[in-house]
Every structure is written in structure tokens, then in C-alpha cells.
A and B are shown apart, each in its own frame.
Chain A
Amino acid sequence: MFHIDYKKLRMLKDKIFVFTIAALTFLAILPLFHIILSIFLKGAPVIAERGLPFLTETFSNGGIGPAIVGTIILTITATAIGVPLAFLAGAYAYEFPDSFIGRATKVLLQIMLEFPTILVGTFIAGVVVFPMGTYSALAGALALAIILMPYVAVYTEEAMSEVPKIYKEGGYALGCTRAQVIFKIIVRMAKAGILTGVLIGMAKVAGETAPLLYTAGGLYESYPKSLFEPIGALPLLIYNLVQSPSPEDHRMAWGAALVMLILFLALFVPIRYLLKKDTVKL
């Protein structure tokens, strides 16, 4: 009879197992480093060669200035439209978690979080762009606002739920109305969480491409002047440049991608570190 040392076998299996999951974990995060590295390697020479004008000049002068300004305008407008609505809807979902409407609101917001963004773009194209007859910054911002709303609302709801119930009871005991308790006590206590939601929503929509494809239009030869005219955006510009066959356009795309990556990391990493939580919704 063979003598099998079961204990050794089990220990070996154990070692192999831990090694395998460590290797797979490494594999999971490897793409991020490859992405950052290759964008730096390809993008940095372009920016170094063109210098500051790359960030300020129009496209035919070899710069992406209008796209950067466009992204900023779109993001701010979308935030201004989406945040108030989302905040109120989130507060409702928090206050009435057991009522039918409250539950439905929460489910709806979660579905909107997962909603294909291109469908928001074509929806806005159908109801805003076609009737207006032109692409516009407003249409782009509306599309982005719809995408931003669920992030803000879900974060608002979660941040408020984390406030201990005792503060709410204390508020009512002092004779406050429901509105006073929520807007003056709970919101103030949950403001860090709500703010995180707003910032994550902004970081998310600033990087969106699909909803802008048929709403914002694109404008890269001059700076945007009005909300009712087409506007450019960084991700949109990169998307168009990557599809072009010319290597010169690809170089521009790498440069623009590097700018975008730096902006994203500069905005997102501090937010993520400030949020001392293990799980976040993205």
C-alpha cells in the first residue's frame, strides 16, 4: 500500500491556493498600471513637444483648449441641473424607506445607476436635439445630468441612513417639523457623504463619452460661447481621434488622454482616500 501523507498534501494545496489567488489579484490590477504607463509613455512626448499651447490652443493650432473648457462647462451645468433633484429624491427615499413610493424610488435610482449611457444620449437627442435642430451644450448637460442623478441620490440616501436615529428623535422631541429635522439636522450631519456623492457623480460624468455623442456635437476650433450651440468635450474628442486612421490624430488622442487621466486621478484619488469606507458605489 502506498502511504500518502494527507497533511502534506493539504498544506501543498493550501499553498497553491493562496499563491493562485494572489497571482489572479495581481492580474486584476495589472491593466491599470499598464494603462497609466502606456498613456504616459505615448502622451508625454506629445505634450512636451507642444508645451502649454496644447492646453490652450484650438485644434488646428495643435491644442485641445476648447475640449477642456467644454468638459468643464458640461460638468458644471449637469451638476447644477442634476444635484438639486437628486438630493431631494434621495432625501425622500431616506425618509420613507417602507412606503411603496419610497421603495420604488430607491429601486429606480439603482436601475438608473446601471442604465446604458448611450440610451440616455439617444433619448435626449430625440427630445431635445431634433426639436431644436442643433446639437447644443444644454442637450449634452441634460444627458449628463440624468446620469449624475442616481449617484448623488444613492449617496445622499446612504449618508443620511448612517446618521444615528437618536438625532432624529431629538429633533422631533424639540418640536421640529419633518422638514426641519431632515434639512437642518440630518443633512448637516450627512453632508460629507452627500458631498462625496456629488464629487463622484461629477468625476463620473466628466469622463462620459456615449451620452455626448449625439447631444453635444463637438466644437474644437473655437471656445464655446453659448449653451445653445454645439460644444466639445475631452472624451468625445479622444473618441473621434482614435477612430481616425491618421497617426497624427492618434498622437493628439494620446496627449488628450494623458490630460484626462491626470485630471481624473487628481480629482478621484483624493475623494476616494477621504472616504474612509471599504465599499463605494461606482
Chain B
Amino acid sequence: MDLKKILRKIDEFKIITMPAVIVVFLLFVSMLVFYFISSYPAIERYGIDLFIKNVWIAAEEASKEVYGLAAPIWGSIYTAVIAVLFALPISIAYAIYVNDYAPKPLKYPLIVISDIMAGLPTIIYGIWGALILVPILRDYIMKYLYEYFSFIPLFDYPPLTGFCYLSAGILLGIMVIPFASAIIREAYAMIPTVYKEGLYALGATRYEATKVLLGYIKPAILSGFILAFGRALGETVAVSLVIGNAFNLTYKLFAPGYTISSLIANQFGNAAIYKYMTSALYAGGLVLFLIGLVVNLIGLYYLRRWRAHVSH
């Protein structure tokens, strides 16, 4: 009899699901530990220089190898910032238009189109970016800016190939627009209708009403862009096809560069020949891991707080 009682106490549901939860946690923790352990040899050898110097000397002899990840770390952040700045006005406009002003028959197709863009394989963006977008940007935008505005230091790098920070930033921007606008659109739709009705009752024009409503969803817009920034940081193949892949620590928009993920994509294959390169690349991965973790946690936290705030 007692045995039956004990058996009833045991929750089968927990027994079935707990292992899966443990596996997911273990996976994440082991990834973090793995990146720490794998990058340790390079961190021990080069110290803080690994993250703040811009050198990349691969040598057969281990004693001559020197690695510094400053350029790729800068490149990752710089391209993601360009992407977010590019995506900012467009995705806000998209969210407002789809929610409030798009004609009824256009509304749903617009949403589906944006979702298709969000789900489109990145390699499709990559091939289009490398073979179509980059030549267009180079011939119609960069050459013009270089010719007439090269007194501004931002534009004074000759755009020879077109593979550069700006191309990567714009391609990334195109890729994160649907993602950022989905978050903003969701938030915008959650605004209680009484606010809208009140504004129109006061005689506000659509422009004035939208301005006020945008103020209401500011935290959601912020979290949308933080999450989009995180996504742009981690993007690999599309970026590595358009960024030019060169160690260049510069703010000049038309200079070729590297991001952490494109560096890994490019160098990981032959890194095993060298003693410290694999480890240096894992250190880059660790940086990306930690930045991504912090950025996403902040973004998710804001979004969650905002949702809780609205539903009350």
C-alpha cells in the first residue's frame, strides 16, 4: 500500500520533461565552459593584448605567432551599429504604416512579406549582397560620396572593390529590418485604443497622434533595436561575403574589414596548422558569445518589462 502512495507522489510529468530541461541547460553551460577552456591558451599567452591590439601574424613556429582581435571586435560592433542606424527609421515607418495606415488588402501581405524576409536563408542575402548589392553601392553611392565628399574623413577611403564596412552594414540593416519591425509592430498594436481615440478626439492629425503614440512604445522600440543589434553581431556568411576580409582598424566606411564571425568563418579551417590560432579564434568566439549574451539579456529584459507594464 505504501509503495502505491509513494508512486503517486512522484510526478511523471517532471520525470519525463526534466531530462530535456537538464540537457538544454547542460548544453548552454558546456558551450560557455568550452569557449573559456578553448580560448585559455591564447589568453594566457597574449594576455589583454589579444583583445586590444590589431595584429595577425600566423607562423609555423609557435614563438613567432602573434594575434590581436581588436580589428574584428571593432568591425563587429561598427557594422552592427551601421545596420541598426540604417534599419531604425525604416522599421519604425514600416511598423506604423502596416498597423494604422496600410489599406486593408495590403496589410496582411505586407506582414507576410516581412516575415518571409526575416526567414529568408542568410546565404540568399549573401549571394545577392556580394554579386548585386555591392556593385550597385560602389558605382552609385560610394564613388559619388568619395568624389564630392572625401573631405569628410568618413568617406576618404577609395572604394575600389566595394567590399567594405558600409556594404556589410547596409546588407545587415536590410536583414534586421523585418526582425526589428516585427517587435515594434507587435508593441504598436498593443497600445490601448483609448489613447488613439482620445488623441483623435482632441483633434490631432495622424502625424501628431503617431508622434505621441511612439513615445508610449519607446521602451519596446529600444529593445527591438537592442535585439536587432545582437542579431547583426552574430550574422556570419552574408557579412563575410561583403565585408572584404582585411584587418583594418578604422572608422572609414569604404575600407574593407573583418567581423569576429567572418574571421572565424574564414580562418577556422586552416587554423589547426598553427599552434595558437584555433585558440585565438575561440577567444574571438568567446567575446562574441559574451557580448551577444549581455546585449540579448538587456533587450529581452526591456521587452519583458514593457509587456508586463502594458498588460497591467
**A–B Cβ pairs within 8 angstroms, 14 of them:** A14-B205, A17-B207, A20-B93, A27-B90, A35-B125, A84-B20, A92-B20, A104-B25, A111-B293, A111-B300, A209-B121, A210-B236, A257-B127, A264-B124
Query: CA A146 – CA B31 in complex, angstroms?
Result: 11
Could you tell me if A279 and B127 are in contact, using CB atoms closer than 8 angstroms?
no
Could you tell me if A28 and B94 are in contact, using CB atoms closer than 8 angstroms?
yes
Q: How far is the CB of A17 from chain B (nearest CB, A)?
A: 4
Q: How far is the CB of A144 from chain B (nearest CB, A)?
A: 13
Decide if B179 is an interface residue (CB 8 Å cutoff).
yes
Decide if B223 is an interface residue (CB 8 Å cutoff).
no
Decide if A76 is an interface residue (CB 8 Å cutoff).
no
Query: CA A142 – CA B63 in complex, angstroms?
Result: 36
Query: CA A154 – CA B237 in complex, angstroms?
Result: 25
Could you tell me if A35 and B234 are in contact, using CB atoms closer than 8 angstroms?
no
Q: Which of B27, B97, B130, B206 contacts A242 (CB 8 A)?
A: B130
Q: Choose the segment among B51-59, B66-74, B142-150, B281-289 that binds chain A (4+ C-beta atoms closer than 8 Å).
A: B281-289
Could you tell me if B27 and A146 are in contact, using CB atoms closer than 8 angstroms?
yes
Q: CB-defined interface of B227-268 with A at 8 Å, one 1/0 digit per residue?
A: 100110111110001000000000000000000010011001
Could you tell me if A28 and B127 are in contact, using CB atoms closer than 8 angstroms?
no
- A interface SS class: helix
Could you tell me if A28 and B114 are in contact, using CB atoms closer than 8 angstroms?
yes
Given contacts A21-B96, A107-B300, A207-B123, 15 further A-B contacts (CB under 8 A): A11-B205, A17-B206, A20-B93, A28-B181, A35-B125, A38-B128, A85-B23, A114-B230, A114-B296, A119-B288, A210-B237, A242-B126, A264-B121, A273-B112, A278-B189
Query: CA A206 – CA B297 in complex, angstroms?
Result: 27
Could you tell me if B13 and A95 are in contact, using CB atoms closer than 8 angstroms?
yes
Decide if A80 is an interface residue (CB 8 Å cutoff).
no
* A111-B297, A235-B121, A235-B123 given; A116·B23 CB < 8 A: no
B:194-210 near A, CB below 8 Å: 205-208, 210
Decide if A24 is an interface residue (CB 8 Å cutoff).
yes
- B interface SS class: helix
* Complex interface: chain A residues within 8 A of B178 (CB): 28, 282
Q: How far is the CB of A113 from chain B (nearest CB, A)?
A: 9
* Complex interface: chain A residues within 8 A of B177 (CB): 28
Q: Which of A34, A238, A279 contacts B132 (CB 8 A)?
A: A34
Could you tell me if B205 and A10 are in contact, using CB atoms closer than 8 angstroms?
yes
Could you tell me if B264 and A272 are in contact, using CB atoms closer than 8 angstroms?
no
Could you tell me if A178 and B227 are in contact, using CB atoms closer than 8 angstroms?
no
Q: For the complex, count residues of B whose C-beta is within 8 A of A.
A: 90
Query: CA A27 – CA B282 in complex, angstroms?
Result: 38
Could you tell me if B119 and A89 are in contact, using CB atoms closer than 8 angstroms?
no
Q: How far is the CB of A227 from chain B (nearest CB, A)?
A: 20
Could you tell me if B93 and A213 are in contact, using CB atoms closer than 8 angstroms?
no
Closest to A21 in B: B93
* Complex interface: chain B residues within 8 A of A261 (CB): 124
A interface residues (Cβ-Cβ under 8 A, vs B): 10-11, 13-14, 16-18, 20-22, 24-25, 27-29, 31-32, 34-35, 38-39, 42, 84-89, 91-92, 95, 101, 104-105, 107-112, 114-120, 122-123, 125-127, 146, 149, 153, 177-179, 182-183, 200, 203-204, 206-210, 213-214, 235, 238-239, 242-243, 250, 253-254, 257, 260-261, 264-265, 268-269, 272-273, 278-280, 282
Could you tell me if A92 and B21 are in contact, using CB atoms closer than 8 angstroms?
yes
Q: Which of B12, B114, B185, B208 contacts A177 (CB 8 A)?
A: B12
Query: CA A25 – CA B27 in complex, angstroms?
Result: 40
Could you tell me if A200 and B125 are in contact, using CB atoms closer than 8 angstroms?
no
10 tightest A-B CB contacts, nearest first:
A207-B121, A116-B234, A88-B20, A24-B93, A210-B236, A17-B207, A282-B118, A21-B93, A179-B12, A14-B205
Q: CB-defined interface of B268-312 with A at 8 Å, one 1/0 digit per residue?
A: 110000000000011001001100110011001000000000000
* Complex interface: chain A residues within 8 A of B139 (CB): none
Q: Which of B25, B237, B281 contacts A239 (CB 8 A)?
A: B237
Q: How far is the CB of B311 from chain A (nearest CB, A)?
A: 13
Decide if B98 is an interface residue (CB 8 Å cutoff).
yes
Q: How far is the CB of B76 from chain A (nearest CB, A)?
A: 10
* A21-B96, A85-B23, A257-B124 given; A282·B179 CB < 8 A: yes
Could you tell me if B97 and A32 are in contact, using CB atoms closer than 8 angstroms?
no
Could you tell me if A24 and B90 are in contact, using CB atoms closer than 8 angstroms?
yes
Q: How far is the CB of B280 from chain A (nearest CB, A)?
A: 12
Q: How far is the CB of B91 from chain A (nearest CB, A)?
A: 7
Decide if B89 is an interface residue (CB 8 Å cutoff).
yes
Decide if B101 is an interface residue (CB 8 Å cutoff).
yes
Q: How far is the CB of B101 from chain A (nearest CB, A)?
A: 6
B:38-83 near A, CB below 8 Å: 38
* A111-B297, A273-B112 given; A279·B186 CB < 8 A: yes
